Amino acid sequence: MADNHITTINPLTEEVIETYPFMSDKEAEDVVKASHEAFLDWRLKSLDERAKVIAAIGKKLREKKEEFAQLMTREVGKLIGDSRDEVDLCAAICDYTAKEGPVALADEEREVDGATAFVSHAPVGVVYGIQPWNFPAYQAVRYSIASLMAGNGVLLKHAENCTGSGEFLRDLYEEAGLPKGLFGVLRITHDQSDAIIAHDLVRGVTMTGSDKAGRHIAAKAGEVVKKTVLELGSNDAYLVLDDADLDLAVKTCVAGRLYNNGQTCVNAKRFIVTEKNYDAFVEAYAKQFDAIAMGDPTDDNTKLGPMVSREQRDKLHEQVEESVSKGARLVVGGEVPDRKGWFYPATVLADVKPGQPAYEDELFGPAASIIKAKDDHDALRIANSSRYGLGGGIFSKDVEKAKKLAADYFDTGMVFINSFDVASPSLPFGGVKDSGYGREHGPEGLKEFVNAKAIKIAKKVAA
Ligand code: NAD
């Protein structure tokens, strides 16, 4: 924050894109009130009426895909192809929600003795979302579309780096037919945010970001007894078991680490490889990482763009250096390049051990941590010893064994077998332990901010 303004900066050119004033307390209050006012009508619309508007938002996202993608790449340095894919995913979330929302949120009849009863999924009111910069469109779409489908009002406090994307999305929603003010964007400081959490008209809080910020926000919401959903960071482990297809594992783990310039909560971050495959994995992985060149994210051929900010880049570099000073082996990369833009090279750390940031913490950028395990059992033990638990992966030719390990033993919210993936509109997305709680997507996400109201009607009493 500089002199009460937000300044967005292009990570490739280090040039200012735009300057926005922070809102005064009164302006922020007006945004909250406008969302609540619009909610009072919106909550009475039928599920089908709401679904029509959600479907129209999906259509509008496809119409404006290129413009939105270019804006995101300018603001946060994403590869342009990843930005386009992100808008497609947002449109797919709208399609899914428009189709399945009315089913998931319909009234449900329930058996009770001596009466008839039903459960209505009533909206709760205005839901406040605090979101990060790594997916400027998707992060804001995934909670807002579910909440709007449920009949709620929605507020967004986006990360400062992608202020333009938040405002673009608000205008797009309104162009598609969402009532004005229902989705309100706040340009506020963290202190002002605490007051929004406490505001009487705000009925729920959903936050995606670091576990440090998540703890603060959940504590603030706890003081005023408001429900939170927390989607936090992780250091997702991908297990390469004795019977893995090694070529597939290397190729997938390279792509899984570098996706979105390595700045995704569910990037594959730690590779836990059994002794049997370890040396071959490190060699093949390092060879592929070494061939990754950094470049302009607007060029379709670029494989690795800049990181979002100087601060994030320097933090990653410090974590790499500390890991090396504590015994990790630097195999590829690890040097800040002498060029404009917040670039960090594709970096491989091997022999990563407890006590090193590359083992314990989240490396939020293009640096891979490779860890040796004695055997399959030890690999799972290492994965589960993390304080995080968002996603993870298993490479094994025995799919039945992998399914059992995923379902019964892997202590995370999502597991990918012989693959890497990010999010699917129909599957619950979220974590356990320090990765947070609550779910986005699927029927689970649609019901996070509803009041499951029990309504019981007495059977006619005999005269
Ligand atoms: P961050 O926690 O610093 O910021 C995220 C958002 O929270 C921003 O809007 C920021 O302004 C806001 N924020 C931070 N402190 C706040 C406070 N005290 N009060 C109010 N708002 C506050 O995270 P970041 O560095 O921008 O994002 C990267 C982190 O997000 C990584 O840890 C990543 O794994 C995580 N992430 C998680 C998911 C998920 O779905 N689990 C998705 C994307 C990113």
Q: Which of 86, 231, 440, 448 is catalytic?
A: 231
pLDDT, mean of residues 344-360: 98
In the chain, where the domains are located: 5-232+435-455, 237-417
Cα(202) to ligand 1 centroid in Å equals 20
Atom of ligand 1 nearest to the CA of 233: 34
Q: Which of 265, 360, 440, 448 is catalytic?
A: 265
Sign for the CA dihedral angle at 184, 189, 194, 198 comes to negative
Q: What is the CA radius of gyration of the chain?
A: 23
Q: What is the pLDDT of residues 190-245, one digit of tens each?
A: 999 999 999 999 999 999 999 999 999 999 999 999 999 999 999 999 999 999 99
For this structure, is 94 an active site residue?
A: no
- Pinpoint the alpha helices (H) of 176-210: 190-198
> Of the CATH numbers 3.40.309.10, 3.40.190.10, 1.20.1050.10, 3.40.50.10310, which one belongs to the domain with range 237-417?
3.40.309.10
For this structure, is 275 an active site residue?
A: no
Cα(210) to ligand 1 centroid in Å equals 4
Residue that is written with structure tokens 């342009």 in the block: 80
Ligand 1: does its nearest atom lie under 6 Å from the Cβ of 231? yes
Q: What is the pLDDT of residues 70-125, one digit of tens each?
A: 999 999 999 999 999 999 999 999 999 999 999 999 999 999 988 999 999 999 99
DSSP state of 409: I
pTM to 2 decimal places: 0.97
> How high is the pLDDT of residue 460?
72
Cα(131) to ligand 1 centroid in Å equals 6
Q: What percent of the chain has pLDDT over 70?
A: 99
Cα(43) to ligand 1 centroid in Å equals 29
CA atoms within 13 A on the CB side of 64: 20
141-158 b/e (C-beta count within 10 Å ≥ 16 → b): bbbbbbbbbbbbbbbbbb
Measured distance CA(430)–CA(72) in Å, rounded: 24
Helix (H) or strand (E) run with residue 171 in it? helix 163-175
Domain 5-232+435-455 sits in CATH at 3.40.605.10
> How high is the pLDDT of residue 3?
67
Structure token pair of residue 427: 């599957």
- pLDDT band of residue 427 (cuts 50, 70, 90) is very high
> How high is the pLDDT of residue 298?
98
Answer yes or no: is pLDDT of 346 > 60: yes
Confirm if 378 and 276 have CB atoms less than 8 A apart: no
Helix axes 138-149, 47-63, angle to 10 degrees: 160
Q: What is the pLDDT of residues 284-342, one digit of tens each?
A: 999 999 999 999 999 999 999 999 999 999 999 999 999 999 999 999 999 999 999 99
Cα(72) to ligand 1 centroid in Å equals 17
Residue that is written with structure tokens 């779409």 in the block: 141
Minimum CA distance residue for ligand 1 atom 43: 265
Confirm if 166 and 136 have CB atoms less than 8 A apart: yes
Q: What is the pLDDT of residues 154-198, one digit of tens each?
A: 999 999 999 999 999 999 999 999 999 999 999 999 999 999 999
Minimum CA distance residue for ligand 1 atom 11: 159
- pLDDT band of residue 462 (cuts 50, 70, 90) is low
CA atoms within 13 A on the CB side of 161: 23
Atom of ligand 1 nearest to the CA of 212: 2
Mean of pLDDT over the chain: 97
Pocket probe for ligand 1: among 20, 134, 308, the residue whose CB has the most ligand atoms within 8 Å is 134
Q: What is the pLDDT of residues 380-404, one digit of tens each?
A: 999 999 999 999 999 999 999 999 9
> How high is the pLDDT of residue 1?
44
pLDDT, mean of residues 248-256: 98
Ligand 1: does its nearest atom lie under 6 Å from the Cβ of 388? no
Helix (H) or strand (E) run with residue 395 in it? strand 392-395
Ligand 1: does its nearest atom lie under 6 Å from the Cβ of 210? yes
